[in-house]
């Protein structure tokens, strides 16, 4: 079996628009959940969001590209540029390098900002035309396609959409491609730009959005906070990374998936537990080998209690001493990009020996009997970490990474 190295990562988020800023925010316990900015109107039920702020699209991507890029593609391309630069790869150096490289990018909402702008023109402003680039801007594969075009990636490339599990599915599929020999390297991750009036109204209507802030596993939690951003990675064959002297950030070692085949919004303990166990089996791990879990941890009543039951079911007594955190309490729930942001957080945890805090917690819910790292991060040696993503529609995806 081919070993898979992660040699680059890039991030755009509510707590930082590059890896170093994101890292520092996690170490400092900075909360990026703030009132929305730059909107003409904010839904009444929305008090804070995990909004990307201070993102210089023109400076990062160039003025000429922007007309074709919805914000979700801007975030994804910027994160990919950072990851590829960190990895030190040039996909155009040899045509065979590009041909043997894959690109898989997950998204849930894709170009929803472009669609909202078009609908506003048609139905509110009474215009008769929309932006001529509406289709290529809004399509779900736009971010993936722009990454391939910008960097000369000509191998297997596509988009994945599975709601909150989109990024983990994309990352896991890229991992499988490299490990199986289908590709020598892969650019993978997720991207989302969902802080806009229409999308916030849709989430508000579901009655799962917090009245105040995101407090996962807390007894007084009131719901999720909508976030956005991108997390993108470069994965490659371990021996290739070593041969070219690349810095290996972490090793990707496992991926598990399952479908609840139950309720469209309510999570299943059995279904999610199967994905966690499948990931452990794929990685060759026993429950006691896992040092940390970055939980899905959305701070909804149903999700947190269900996830606690999942962790207890899979890890048994080890759950008593298995540190769990939800970084959504800092950057919000970035939906299709969530797994990308959270894998960056896992790699930072491995590198720093530091488990990021679950912020805003007042009292752990008795229905969530876990070792939740509350309000302040914890310095502990970490070798292996899991990242959980359990999506609407009952689609589950779990990743395992090991310290390099």
Report DSSP letters for 246-311, one per residue. PPP-EEEEEEEEEE--S-SSS--HHHHHHHHHHHHHHHT--GGG--EEE------HHHHHHHHHHH
12 bridge partner residues: 230
Phi and psi torsions of 60, nearest 5° = -80, -35
Has 164 been annotated as catalytic? yes
Confidence of residue 40 (pLDDT cuts 50, 70, 90): confident
pLDDT of 337: 98
Distance CA 10, CA 20 (A): 9
Residue 2 CB coordination number (10 Å) = 13
Q: DSSP letters of 4-29?
A: EEEEEEEEEBTTBSSHHHHHHHHHHT
Same CATH fold, 255-403 and 4-243? yes
Residue that has been written with the tokens 């990009």 in this structure: 337
pLDDT of 368: 98
Marked catalytic residue, from 164, 214, 279, 346: 164
Chain segment 241-299, per-residue pLDDT in tens: 999 999 999 999 999 999 999 999 999 999 999 999 999 999 999 999 999 999 999 99
- Look at the domain 4-243 and name its fold: Peroxisomal Thiolase; Chain A, domain 1 (3.40.47)
| Mean pLDDT, all residues of the chain | 97
SS3 at position 227: strand
Pairing of strands 101-106, 185-192: parallel
Q: Which of 386, 18, 80 is nearest to 235 (CA)?
A: 80
Distance CA 398, CA 257 (A): 7
Confidence of residue 332 (pLDDT cuts 50, 70, 90): very high
What is the SS3 string spanning 152-199? CCCCCEEEECECECHHHHHHHHHHHHHHHCCCCEEEEEEEECCCCHHH
Name the residue ranges covered by the structural domains of the chain: 4-243, 255-403
Confidence of residue 37 (pLDDT cuts 50, 70, 90): very high
Has 333 been annotated as catalytic? yes
pLDDT of 1: 81
Chain segment 57-98, per-residue pLDDT in tens: 999 999 999 999 999 999 999 999 999 999 999 999 999 999
- Give the helix/strand (H/E) hosting 149: helix 142-151
Mean pLDDT (whole number) for 330-351: 98
Phi and psi torsions of 194, nearest 5° = -120, 5
Mean pLDDT (whole number) for 166-193: 98
Q: What percent of the chain has pLDDT over 90?
A: 98
Mean pLDDT (whole number) for 141-156: 98
Chain segment 354-373, per-residue pLDDT in tens: 999 999 999 999 999 999 99
CATH superfamily, region 255-403:
Thiolase/Chalcone synthase (3.40.47.10)
Phi and psi torsions of 209, nearest 5° = -90, 140
Torsion sign (Cα): 88, 94, 100, 103:
positive
pLDDT of 347: 98
Question: E strands of 281-394, at which residues?
Answer: 292-294, 323-325, 354-355, 371-372, 378-379, 384-391
Confidence of residue 165 (pLDDT cuts 50, 70, 90): very high
pLDDT of 131: 94
- Give the helix/strand (H/E) hosting 240: helix 238-243
Burial group, residue 264, by CB count within 10 angstroms (0-12, 13-18, 19+): exposed
Mean pLDDT (whole number) for 41-56: 95
Predicted TM-score of the model (pTM)? 0.97
Marked catalytic residue, from 146, 292, 296, 331: 296
Weakest mean pLDDT among 158-162, 207-211, 343-347: 207-211
259 bridge partner residues: 395
């Amino acid at each position: 079996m081919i070993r898979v190295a992660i040699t680059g990562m890039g991030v755009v988020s509510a707590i930082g628009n590059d890896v170093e800023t994101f890292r520092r925010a996690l170490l400092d316990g900075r909360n990026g959940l703030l009132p929305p900015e730059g909107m003409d109107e904010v839904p009444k039920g929305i008090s804070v969001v995990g909004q990307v702020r201070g993102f210089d699209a023109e400076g990062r991507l160039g003025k000429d590209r922007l007309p074709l890029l919805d914000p979700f593609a801007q975030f994804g391309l910027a994160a990919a540029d950072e990851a590829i630069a960190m990895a030190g790869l040039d996909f155009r150096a040899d045509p065979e390098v590009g041909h043997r490289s894959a690109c898989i990018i997950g998204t849930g909402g894709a170009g929803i900002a472009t669609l909202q702008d078009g609908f506003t023109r048609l139905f509110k402003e009474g215009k008769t035309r929309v932006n001529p680039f509406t289709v290529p801007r809004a399509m779900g594969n736009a971010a993936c396609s722009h990454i391939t075009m910008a960097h000369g990636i000509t191998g297997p490339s596509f988009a994945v959409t599975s709601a909150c599990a989109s990024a983990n599915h994309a990352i896991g599929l890229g991992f499988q491609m490299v490990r199986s020999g289908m590709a020598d390297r892969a650019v993978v991750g997720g991207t989302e730009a969902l802080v806009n009036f229409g999308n916030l109204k849709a989430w508000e209507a579901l009655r799962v959005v917090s009245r105040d802030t995101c407090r996962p596993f807390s007894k007084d939690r009131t719901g999720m906070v909508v976030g956005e951003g991108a997390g993108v990675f470069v994965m490659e064959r371990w021996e290739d990374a070593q041969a070219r002297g690349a810095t290996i950030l972490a090793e990707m070692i496992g991926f598990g998936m399952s479908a609840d085949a139950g309720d469209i919004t309510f999570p299943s303990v059995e279904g999610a537990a199967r994905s966690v166990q499948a990931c452990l089996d794929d990685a060759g791990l026993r429950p006691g080998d896992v040092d940390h879990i970055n939980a899905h941890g959305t701070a909804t009543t149903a999700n947190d209690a269900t996830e606690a039951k999942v962790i207890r079911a899979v890890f048994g007594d080890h759950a008593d001493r298995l540190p769990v955190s939800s970084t959504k309490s800092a950057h919000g729930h970035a939906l299709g990009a969530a797994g990308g942001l959270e894998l960056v957080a896992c790699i930072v945890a491995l590198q720093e020996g530091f488990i990021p805090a679950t912020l805003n917690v007042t009292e752990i819910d008795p229905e969530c009997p876990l070792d939740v790292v509350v309000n302040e991060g914890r310095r502990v040696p970490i070798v292996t970490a899991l990242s959980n993503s359990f999506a609407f529609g009952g689609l589950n995806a779990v990743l395992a990474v090991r310290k390099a």
